[in-house]
Amino acid sequence: MTILPIRIYGEPVLHEVAEPVGEITEEIRTLVSDMYETMDLAPGVGLAGPQVGVNKRLFTYSWEDEDGTKLRGVAIDPELWISPAEPESLEELDYDEEEGCLSVPGERYTLRRAEHALLRARDIDGKPYELEASGWFARILQHEFDHLNGILYVDRLGLTSWKQAFKVMKKKGWNTPGQSWLPGVDNLEG
C-alpha cells in the first residue's frame, strides 16, 4: 500500500466536479486501499478521490458511532439525499458543529449541516448499497460528497468565518495550485 499526498485548498482538482468511476478495475481497487491507509494515517474520518488528486466520484469513510458500531466503507459513484438543515439563528453555531478537512489541514470552523442523510452507492465489489445516517456520520457523508462536486467545507462558511479561513490560508501560502502534504511525513495537522 502507498500513502498518498493530500491536496490542499487551491489545487484545481479540488474545485472540479469529479467524473464517474464506472467499471471497478484493479487500479480503482488499489486506489481505494491506498485511500484507506492514507485516511487512517492522516488521521481522518473520510477521504475523497479529488483530495488525493484523482478526479473520480468515490470516497472512503471510517466512523465509530456512540454505541461502538464501526462504520467503514467506500462509496463509489454515490448519490446523497439530505434532510433540510435547521436554519442558523443569530446566535453562534454550537461547538459540536465544528468541522475540519484534510485539504485545509489543522483548521476547524463551525458549519451547519443537515442532521440526516441517505447515501446510495456501490461498494468495492460493485454491489449497490444504501445507508441512512444521522448526526456526525451524516456530516461526514455530506462533507465527502461535497468534495465530489468541487466544494470544500470552507466554501460553505458564513461570511465572518469564511473571511477568517481565507486569511489563514493566505498566510499559510495556500489557495494556490501545487500544495499538498503527506501524512506521516508532514506535520500540518497541528
Bind-site residues for Fe cation: 101, 143, 147
Dihedral angle sign, alpha carbons of residues 112, 58, 70, 129 = positive
Collapsing DSSP to helix, strand or coil, 125 comes out as: coil
Numbered residues of the known binding site: 101, 143, 147
Kindly list the distances between the CA atom of residue 65 and the CA atoms of 114, 133, 171, in Å, as whole numbers in the listed order: 17, 10, 36
Sign of CA dihedral 155, 158, 163, 164: negative
Write down the residue that cell numbers 499538498 correspond to: 180
Our answer to whether residue 144 is catalytic in this structure is yes
Q: Please check whether residue 21 is in contact with residue 75, taking contact to mean a CB–CB distance below 8 angstroms.
A: no
Q: Which of 16, 66, 144, 189 is catalytic?
A: 144
User: Measured between alpha carbons, how far is 177 from 8 in angstroms, rounded to an integer?
Assistant: 8
Catalytic residue numbers, as ranges:
144
